[in-house]
Amino acid sequence: MSIPPALPTSPAEAPGTAADPADAQQFRAALGLFATGVCIVTARSGDGALVGLTANSFNSVSLSPPLVLWSLARRAGSMPVFSRGSHYAIHILAADQKALAQRFATRDIDRFAGQAWSEGAGGVPVLQGCAAVFECANRSQYEEGDHVIFVGEVERCSVTPQAQPLIFHGGRYYTELPI
């Protein structure tokens, strides 16, 4: 009688499934398997300059009080504006806003040139046509690893009825993932 080999008791013991934390490429690929929405976060600097960037690190925190979070790399050039500012706006992009997501992810351009926006809470720019917008007071910040986690208290929220979200998965944009 033969005894079958023991099954792995944890994911780390399963062959070919463990990610070495030191293997940044494998870690990034694993993270890419999590489908997310696409956001643009905007603010205004102390001298009035408009700042914005594309992010997919967004999440809800609390309904009462209404809190959301997002994160930004410590080395980001816009870090001083976001860390010192009193407000920012988080825009959930609609399915037809892929070009806007790419524009706000591009370096060394005027990201707001030709973009329709209005002034929101704390003077931040609020982009038009987004699926949803959260205008936030900069409530708290937490340094973790190579990022800073921003927690915002939502002062105003708007939703575009029946808007379809823009989705990011595996390095590509989608408008929906079939089931």
Q: What is the pLDDT of residues 110-164, one digit of tens each?
A: 999 999 999 999 999 999 999 999 999 999 999 999 999 999 999 999 999 999 9
Block residue for tokens 């407000």? 87
pLDDT number for residue 135 = 98
**Residues 52, 45: Cα–Cα separation, whole Å:** 10
- Give 79-100 pLDDT, tens digit per residue: 999 999 999 999 999 999 999 9
Question: Which tens digits make up the pLDDT trace of 14-24?
Answer: 444 555 666 88
pLDDT recorded at residue 176 = 79
Q: Compute CA distances 22 → 25, 30, 72, 87, 88, whole Å.
A: 9, 13, 21, 36, 34
Q: How does pLDDT run across 66-75, given as a tens digit for each residue?
A: 999 999 999 9
Q: What is the DSSP letter of 10?
A: S
pLDDT at 3: 46
| pTM exceeds 0.75 | yes
